[in-house]
Amino acid sequence: MSPLALPNSLWAATAEAPPEATSLDDQVNVDVAIVGAGFNGLRAALVLAEAGKKVAVVDAGEIGWGASGRNGGQVNPIGHESPETIRNRWGNRYGNDMVDRYTRFISDSADSLFELARNHHIHCDAEQNGWIRAVHGNAAIKPFEELYQGWTDAGSELRLIDKEELSALSGTEGYLLGWVAPQGGSIQPLSFARGLAHAAKAAGANLYSQTHVEKLIPSKQGGWQLASKRGLVTADQVLLCTNGYTDKLFPGIRETIVPVVSIQAATAPLTEHQNAHILPDRHTFADTRRVIFYFRKTADNRLVFGSAGTGDELPNNNDRQRIKTGLKTVFPRLPDLTIDYIWGGRIAVTQDHLPHIHNPAPGLYTALGCNGRGVALSTAMGRLLADLTLGRDPESLPIPITQPRPYPFHRFHRIGIKIAVPWKQFCDNREVTRE
Ligand SMILES: Cc1cc2nc3c(=O)[nH]c(=O)nc-3n(C[C@H](O)[C@H](O)[C@H](O)COP(=O)(O)OP(=O)(O)OC[C@H]3O[C@@H](n4cnc5c(N)ncnc54)[C@H](O)[C@@H]3O)c2cc1C
């Protein structure tokens, strides 16, 4: 397998066809060059092409090769941090209006994604049946309730559910309480990425795949040059839409995130009985564990179940075992489910668990740090990047433009993750058994 082929995932096996995209072996001149053909870059390209801009999207792999073609497809409208925490971090610096815009932006992000899919006739098995978030142990109740209260006060629609209802809606009895966010839902993520790419291309964007941008050079006349092995893009402005796959292309950006691997498995289609019992109303599900368990059903009634990995994106036996253990933990009465596909990808984790937009040089913007909630968020941030290049006042954004802040000891992140994941898992397990 070539390193930049799509992973052997359920999504790659079942996605809608991609639009034609060739590698770049020419010189092109555009208004805006976009590095990264995931939700973020493709959404930006769509907005810009529709606004009449000449756009080139360049990806080192295929369209949707990064996290966008690998994720759980859960369209989740609530952030990790409470509005109060965000107010404490951003309020003094950027004003409370910014915080209010952010909470609205996040709360609306799921609806916006489904609307986008509908408006562009994107076939991606979109289902908006709601997202369940479930509490795994007593220690998680207080922060969960604070998050619930904060987001509800900020106007998000959330419904608390007790253990009994949670059990009926999920098919597992292992949780204490939860919420349902009715705007949440699911998509086939690679189909969605490809659908966005079709729409962007139809609007006039140029798509280049299998083209690693190796150098980003400011030109003397203003603007940028993006050099790959065999091609060159000259652009007035550049958007770095590389999230968890950010490399050294522009100094200081890679160090602002830690790429944490998440592993997912797709089971064989559930039996009729299992299907009736697990997520009968076809919600999506994620829990409050530090080393999260999340799952959903697919159009053909498989269970796609995910959790954190400790190593590489290419899952090893250890990862397979962790997924099996996770399935057994959540569904102890189910017989062992056959795993038909298992794959991994990178999540971009930031120090404050908030997304960031940076403008580290004139005409260069990046949006990254979706912390595992980027299906709706990254798509929505693509629009913000496009708006910025179209001249939108940064003060009116729902996310502030911040200085890139590197993680301390970033170069040791791999070893950090190897230590942190088992430790966090130990803490999660201890909380469950202490109930
Ligand atoms: C396994 C997994 C499960 C997840 N599940 C969920 C979920 O259920 N719900 C949710 O909300 N979020 C989920 N996420 C997170 C979500 O997938 C991401 O936040 C989102 O897809 C990020 O999109 P993006 O466009 O910003 O980045 P990506 O889709 O990662 O795209 C970045 C692209 O940049 C390209 N690139 C990088 N450097 C270069 C370069 N120098 N030259 C050319 N190209 C370059 C890469 O090839 C890549 O394709 C999950 C992530 C993973 C990995």
pLDDT tens digit string along 29-86? 999 999 999 999 999 999 999 999 999 999 999 999 999 999 999 999 988 899 999 9
Residues 6+ apart with CB under 8 A from 22: 208, 209
> Is the predicted pLDDT of residue 435 greater than 60, yes or no?
no
- Residues 273-290: pLDDT tens digits? 999 999 999 999 999 998
- Residues 382-432: pLDDT tens digits? 999 999 999 999 999 999 999 999 988 778 788 777 778 888 888 888 888
> Is the predicted pLDDT of residue 2 greater than 60, yes or no?
no
CA-345 nearest atom, ligand 1: 53
Fold annotation for 75-187+258-351+426-433? D-Amino Acid Oxidase; Chain A, domain 2 (3.30.9)
Per-domain boundaries in the chain: 10-72+190-251+352-414, 75-187+258-351+426-433
- Quote the pLDDT of residue 426: 81
274 CA to centre of ligand 1 in angstroms? 31
CA distance between the termini of the chain? 46
> Is the predicted pLDDT of residue 239 greater than 50, yes or no?
yes
Cα dihedral 180→244→34→15 (10° resolution): -60
Mean pLDDT of the chain: 94
- pTM metric for this prediction: 0.96
Strand partners, 358: 366
Q: Is the CB of 315 under 6 A from ligand 1?
A: no
CA-36 nearest atom, ligand 1: 34
The residue contributing the CA closest to ligand 1 atom 3 is: 71
CATH class of 10-72+190-251+352-414: alpha beta
> Is the predicted pLDDT of residue 433 greater than 80, yes or no?
no
Residues 6+ apart with CB under 8 A from 414: none
Q: Is the CB of 87 under 6 A from ligand 1?
A: no
CA-294 nearest atom, ligand 1: 8
- Quote the pLDDT of residue 299: 97
